[in-house]
Structure 1
Amino acid sequence: MDVEERLTELERRLGALERQEPAPDEQAKATPSGFWALEGIRALFAEHGAAHGGVLFTGTVRLPTEEHYEWQYARPTGALLEEDWSEAAESFAALGHPVRMRLLHEILTGRRTAAELAALEDLGTTGQVYHHLRQLTAAGWLHTTGKARYEVPPGRVVPLLVALAAARP
């Protein structure tokens, strides 16, 4: 079984484990250390021969717009360390501007049209707003749904929130 097949199987099994998750008050009983997710992923990576472990991020998100997303992604440490990290620079750079972060926040909370976004204070001119929207779209953090409407693609909602959480001290 190659790495990709093992990761697919790992994701399938993790999904099955998540569906069997005990109630929050039972979680503490089930894992005295409180690291129930870490213990599970450690065991799964070890079982699939990822000697150096790996990284998993997952989430279930209900936005103020009532949209609901569930998503997970896992990668073994070895694969991550072998990749060319410079390829991720454009994606991170797109998130590196306060106006772009504000635009993403506004879009996730319900403002979707360019007109709604351009009308917000402290974002600059309409041209500047469009420039930032193009940067986010080019990096894959947004896509257009027609008539100058924007949304964060479903496969990017949880990763965006994970990146935001990881940026906190």
Structure 2
Amino acid sequence: MDLEERVAELERRLAALEERGGDGPRAAPEADGGGFWALEGLKERLAEDGAGGGGVLFTGAVRMPTGLRYEWQYGLAADTVLDADWAAAAESFAALGQAVRLRLLREILDGRDTAAALTELDGIGTTGQIYHHLRQLSAAGWLHAPSRGHYEVPAARVVPLLVMLAAAQP
């Protein structure tokens, strides 16, 4: 079974688990280890595939302040992640490695989506600096411009961005 088929099967199984679980969102796992419904589904899936090295899954359902809703999930076998060229991720991480760029992403997710509106923010830099940051975020795939002067975080990058920010919490 190739990676795409495995991910599709994982998505199907996770959807089935969610259907069995009731109408509302599930609470985060308790500190005592209870309630790891996503983890248990991942372990079942990996056992069926014989992926003895484990796996990684991240998923989310998010309603943004703008009212937009994003649902997304992604899973990989641990061996796939461990064997990958980690240096290839450097540009993506580097683009997020500045507080100004993270603030720009937050403002864009909050609905301030034009370059003109972003230049009005205090402490964000000159117009030239803002455009430099927007270009860096766009080059790394964290932003795209659906029309001239307007920016948005691509739908497929919203949950991964929030996952990375959550993982960075102390």
TM-based fold match above 0.5 = yes
What CA deviation, in whole Å up to 9, does each residue of 1:44-68 have, x standing for no partner?
Answer: 1111221111000000011010011
Partner of 1:133: 134
Note the residue ranges of structure 2 that are not aligned, 5 or more in a row.
none
One-letter identity of the residue aligned with 1:83? A
TM-score (norm 1): 0.91
1:16 aligns with 2:25: no
Corresponding position of 1:163: 164
Deviation at 1:5, TM superposition (A): 1.8
Alignment partner, residue 111 of structure 1: 112
User: In the alignment, what sits opposite 2:94?
Assistant: 93
User: What is the one-letter code of the residue matched to 1:123?
Assistant: I
- Counterpart residue number, 1:5: 5
Amino acid at match of 1:7: V
Q: Is the 8 A contact 1:65 1:109 kept in 2?
A: yes
Q: Which whole-Å CA distance do the structure 2 matches of 1:3 and 1:147 have between them?
A: 37
Give every structure 1 segment of 4 or more consecutive aligned residues whose post-TM-superposition deviation is greater than 4 Å. 23-28
Q: CA deviation at 1:107?
A: 0.3
The aligned residue for residue 81 of structure 1 is 82
Alignment of 1:37-76 (within 5 A): 37-76=38-77
Residue 58 of structure 2 aligns to a residue whose secondary structure is strand
Superposed CA offset, 1:9-50 (max 9, x none)? 12222222223323568999xxx8222222221111111221
User: 1:46/1:65 Cα in 2 relative to 1: closer, same or farther (>3 Å)?
Assistant: same
Is the contact between residue 56 and residue 76 of structure 2 (CA under 8 Å) also seen in structure 1? yes
TM-score using structure 2 length: 0.91
Matches within 5 A, 1:140-151: 140-151=141-152
Please state how far the C-alpha of 1:153 moved relative to its aligned partner.
Answer: 0.1
Amino acid aligned to 1:99: V
